[in-house]
Amino acid sequence: MGKIILTGDRPTGKLHLGHYVGSLRRRVELQNSGAFDRVFIMIADAQALTDNADNPEKIRQNIIEVALDYLACGLDPEKTTIFIQSQIPELCELAFYYMNLVTVSRLQRNPTVKTEIQMRGFSTSIPVGFFTYPISQASDITAFRATTVPAGEDQEPMIEQTREIVRRFNAIYGDTLVEPEILLPDNAACLRLPGTDGKAKMSKSLGNCIYLSDPADEVRNRVMSMYTDPGHIRVQDPGKVEGNTVFTYLDAFCRPEHFAQYLPDYASLDELKAHYQRGGLGDVKVKKFLNAILQEVLEPIRARRQEFEQDIPAIYHMLKDGSEAAREVAAATLADVRRAMRIDYFDDAELIAEQSMKFKK
């Protein structure tokens, strides 16, 4: 069996730098590496509805935003099947069968679900659909026989849940499903890019995001007002680089060649950090450097997005084609699942013959 990628995003807003370093940049590299037989990227609208049931318009509006961000970053529909989760009804059927293989207490232990329940203030009124979304995510992954799921650290519990379902399914019904692996970013800063305010995560509700589609001056303002080291008051004071958002972003984005280009007084990030720690290096200089790098990353993305924005019908068309192609694959897996579960009554000539024998007098 070949190597297959499946991953995706909830369409609850435009994509930001956290998405970019956490998974998006990697996906594009993997797509272009030629090492994978197929790449599936899913806009997880059905999952987004599990905690936005009362706000379907938000999901509907953001489908195109996410698709534009994908294309702008370099995902290429010629190489990658981009599709919309809700257009693949087979995924629901798989989830319905997988539900029999997971206990309530197992779902309650999922750390990502636990945090999300707290963040959304669900406490005891947790929608069942939300509670069971890890099972639905197992359907997303297994339907495409994915071997590899490039995703952020917060998705680890989902992949572990998927692996458990696969093992249990295969043990009961025979070898049918593929056990996937998560592919995490290899750089610690990318694993968990903080918000511009230094808070743990970029999140729309905290207003601490830099979006891939933000205009250049907005990016600049965000960088110039970024959280640094509150103890670093005068330029000559020694500063901390740990927990200093500007340096975390540099860890995620800076490459050696950026110094020659934008900050030739320093040879490497280590040198820059050492100077900051020693004292005598002001925040503004470091922020300007980060801004130059981010503009270099974001400018081509913004330009490509603007081109794609000129033909929105073509994007819906691409998503429709992608969804049709994805559906074929999911339907083939579902047929295997039904056969393995012995609910393929009408396709099983043996069953009919056997039952005839049993009842014939």
Instruction: Supply the angle between the helices 283-309 and 269-278 in degrees, to the nearest 10.
Output: 140
Give min distance, CB of 175 to ligand TRP, in A.
22
Give min distance, CB of 149 to ligand TRP, in A.
5
Q: Classify strands 4-9 and 38-43 as parallel, antiparallel or unpaired.
A: parallel
Site residues (vs ligand TRP, CB under 6 A) = 6-10, 44, 47, 137, 140-141, 149, 151, 155
- CB nearer ligand TRP, residue 151 or residue 269: 151
| 83 SS3 class | strand
- CB nearer ligand TRP, residue 83 or residue 247: 83
Tell me the one-letter amino acid at 142: T
Give min distance, CB of 34 to ligand TRP, in A.
22
Give min distance, CB of 76 to ligand TRP, in A.
19
CB neighbours of residue 243 within 10 Å: 13
- CB nearer ligand TRP, residue 181 or residue 299: 181
- Helices of type H across the chain: 17-19, 25-33, 45-49, 56-73, 90-98, 104-108, 111-119, 128-131, 133-143, 156-173, 188-191, 216-224, 245-253, 257-262, 269-278, 283-309, 312-340, 349-359
- CB nearer ligand TRP, residue 148 or residue 245: 148
Give min distance, CB of 213 to ligand TRP, in A.
18
Is the separation of the CB atoms in 18 and 193 below 8 Å? yes
Q: Residue number with the shortest CB distance to ligand TRP?
A: 44
- CB nearer ligand TRP, residue 47 or residue 248: 47
Is the separation of the CB atoms in 56 and 24 below 8 Å? no
- CB nearer ligand TRP, residue 66 or residue 263: 66
Query: CA torsion angle for 253, 256, 257, 260 (degrees, to 10)?
Result: 110
| The two three-digit tokens of residue 7, written as one number | 């991953």
Q: For the chain, what is the radius of gyration of the CA atoms?
A: 24
- CB nearer ligand TRP, residue 60 or residue 255: 60
From the list 147, 261, 186, the residue with the least C-alpha distance to 26 is: 186
Give min distance, CB of 137 to ligand TRP, in A.
4
Backbone phi, psi, residue 127, to 5°: -60, 140
**Cα 83 from Cα 87, distance rounded (Å):** 8
From the list 202, 149, 193, 181, the residue with the least C-alpha distance to 40 is: 149
Give min distance, CB of 39 to ligand TRP, in A.
12
- CB nearer ligand TRP, residue 144 or residue 276: 144
Give min distance, CB of 54 to ligand TRP, in A.
19
Give min distance, CB of 217 to ligand TRP, in A.
29
- CB nearer ligand TRP, residue 44 or residue 95: 44
**Cα 229 from Cα 235, distance rounded (Å):** 12
